[in-house]
Structure 1
Amino acid sequence: MSDTGLEDGIEAANARFDRAMARLETSVRSLNSRMRSLNRIEVDTQRLVTERARLATELDKTAARAKRLDDSAHDVSRRLVEAMETVREVLAK
């Protein structure tokens, strides 16, 4: 092979190498960007899971309080009925 042919081959190989490195750099940048996005999604997901757990606890407490209030209202209503019946009995005498 002549020196010119060898030099042309080396230049062609260098050009292919440069293009391959440019593609690799592009791929690495793209991968880094996707990894940052994935990390943000994971952080947001964890935040949502924590918020969901907090809200579920709050809902359970609120539901328990609503049940206690409903039970109390039922008891008050029953006592009022009993009191009204007692008043009627006294007035009827």
Structure 2
Amino acid sequence: MATPLLRLSVGQVLRSASAIVSRPLSGSHILRIDGCSHLKEAIRHGEGTESCDFNVGDHTWLLLCYPNGSNSKCRRHFAVYLKLVSDTEDEPVRA
């Protein structure tokens, strides 16, 4: 016969609590562009350049920059995209 680990007398109150706390990871990467107007002249529409790799949240990322837009609908826009570089083995990653 198993011995009870806890015996309560009449009227005794047993209190217990636990917590699971999850916080999103955050980080930042500063991309400084010196000579933006020269860059717009040097790179044609649809062509881009990229930042160096950086790490946030156990993943490696980079920024793709298209100074004259990335497609025909965005010729007057400066487009910046965040690209996941690290292998996630098909795991979804939120950014």
- Normalised by the shorter chain, which TM-score bucket? under 0.3
Q: Which structure's relative contact order is higher, taking Cα pairs within 8 Å and 6+ residues apart?
A: 2
Greater gyration radius: 1
Using the size of structure 1 for normalisation, the TM-score is: 0.22
* Structure holding more helix per residue: 1
Using the size of structure 2 for normalisation, the TM-score is: 0.21
* Structure holding more strand per residue: 2
